[in-house]
Amino acid sequence: MQLTGSQVIIECLKEQGVDTVFGYPGGAILNVYDELYKHPEIRHVLTSHEQGASHAADGYARSTGKVGVCMATSGPGATNLVTGIATAYMDSIPIVAITCNVGVSLLGKDSFQEIDIAGITTPITKYSFIVKDVTKLADTIRRAFSIARKGRPGPVLVDITKDVTANKTEYIKKEPKMPQPDCSAFNEDDLKKAIQMIEKAKKPYIFVGGGAILSGASEVLKTFVEKTDAPVCDTLMGKGAYDGTSENYTGMLGMHGTKTSNLGVSECDLLIAVGVRFSDRVLGNPKKFAKQAKILQIDIDPVEINKNIIVNHSIIGDVAIVLGKLNEKLEQQKHTEWLSHIADYQKMYPMTIPKEGLSGPFMIAKIYEMAKDAIMVTEVGQHQMWAAQYFKYSKPRTLLTSGGLGTMGYGLGAAIGAQTANPDKQVINIAGDGCFRMNMNELATASRQKLPLIEVIVNNHVLGMVRQWQTLFYKQHYSATVLDDGVDYVKIAEAMGAAARRVTTQEEFNAAFQEALESKTPFVIDAIVDSDDKVWPMVAPGAPINECFDGKDFESKNK
């Protein structure tokens, strides 16, 4: 049948099972929005800013495992998506961003709101398309979804000229073919060598990253851990892949990892890295990272092998499939003495919560106590680390956070995406006051959509993590990090249609959070904490991870 390009776009979205699109209209994309108006089966969430749309698509994707979709018009509309696309790219999140450009005859002429968005996004997407021929539109959109899903997931951009959205072509519906995991890169010898390494190890440690979540590997990972009989640590992106309430789970590894994980990995004789990329925040000093251990890396992307650290053996493939194959071949291991040693570390170096006063650790622990099944979203900074340290993630896709790019302003948009996708779950965004400022306009979106998400602002009136570094490493030169300017977040929230409370004590927070849980509208808690609260433990930049220190260590060293 003959359809316009705009009609083809909508039909292709329906083919792919898309039920929600986040976006913001404009002149170049008007034809598409006019067609979208006729299809209420696709929910459109109008955000306050295009960046909010890209983060919402990301949050939708992270919380569901589906491809998130966002749309924007040409020029600044398209460029406003860039930060969200880069955020998704760094964390391997499947989104498809659809933008429209000026007509083909106007390309390359500095036309009004013309921009080469495909060129701009090439380094931060798996693929960027520009469609100038309506006959190629349907297949391009189908390819975009396939690429976004396939192998290591990631964002894809499709830019479509305005005349293509109006021109007609023959459209034939096609059922999408979901990509199947590719297992061709490893063989029986790879599995055999891995088994030999595991069986030879006396002190194995399992290190889990976001790849285990993306592959849906939680169940086979649990079996693998039980058969290996080893302690488990994770990355920020790996939270929830392995049950954080398990006895042999020791917390995060790296710069703000637990002392147990950092010391344990530094002592192990085999580190089994599952879906991790060995980022600089994990390695500390790469020359001294796990020097006494052999490293076995399991990852779907061959580019990640030997990129940041040299490993002894690798298996390239879908994590869930590889672990399943290893489980079939691995005999039950026993490491009682090693596990007991790690358990002693856990007793020696517990994560503590200040007993007096309102603090980030107290609030996260209380949120866990009152809302264990919530989807937690964070911005970036101290509050992000506290959310990783003090909330026990027992299921995958329950912590949504910008790990690779570290995007301030990510959380509220992502929370909107997650709450839209999961209406029956409680979504909570943890923000610092610096991050909240960046995209707080999206509160209006949450109010308009009647989303009962909770926004907790850990308000210390400074850029907390930067101030922490300035305190520790820059002689307390607080350059451009003080935010004590009288902004009233409660009034801002109420003006945007949300309920809000300001709290200064533990008792006030408990009451406000209970009220927020019962609210049917967005609810903001402005929680005032001390400007000099710090995230502990910490590893200094460039130091080996076994040199982690906490507040007491710091005070003793600087007496």
> What residues act catalytically?
50, 112-113, 162, 465
Query: In Å, how far are 10, 129, 133, 481 from 365, measured between CA atoms?
Result: 44, 45, 55, 27
Cα separation, 255 vs 238, in Å, equals 15
> Rounded to the nearest 5°, which phi and psi values hold at 73?
-85, -175
φ, ψ for residue 87, nearest 5 deg: -60, -45
d(CA 456, CA 493): 12
Per-residue three-class SS string for 232-292? EEECCCCECCECCCCCCEEEECCCCCCHHHHHHHHHCCEEEEECCCCCHHHHCCHHHCCCC
CA gap 317, 185 in Å, rounded: 6
Closest CA to 74 of 107, 34, 36: 107
Q: Is the peptide bond before 541 cis (omega within 30 degrees of 0)?
A: no
- Residue type for position 221: L
* 3-class secondary structure, 437: helix
Report the DSSP beta bridge partners of residue 503: 527
Q: Which residue's entry shows tokens 């790990």?
A: 403
Residue linked to tokens 């820059």: 474
Tokens of 390: 């003090």
255 and 406 Cβ atoms separated by less than 8 Å? no
Q: Checking phi first, is residue 380 left (phi over 0); if not, alpha (psi -120 to 50) or beta?
A: beta
Q: Residue 331 to residues 188, 224, 313, 324: CA-CA distances in angstroms?
A: 16, 10, 20, 13
Cβ–Cβ under 8 Å, residues 34 and 5: no
Amino acid code (one letter) for 211 = G
256: left (phi over 0), alpha (psi -120 to 50) or beta: alpha
List the strands of the sheet with 232-234, edge to edge.
Answer: 249-252, 232-234, 204-208, 270-274, 294-299, 313-316
Nearest-angstrom CA–CA distance, 427 and 130: 36
The rounded distance, in Å, linking the Cα atoms of 524 and 456 is 6
Residue with tokens 């408990």: 510
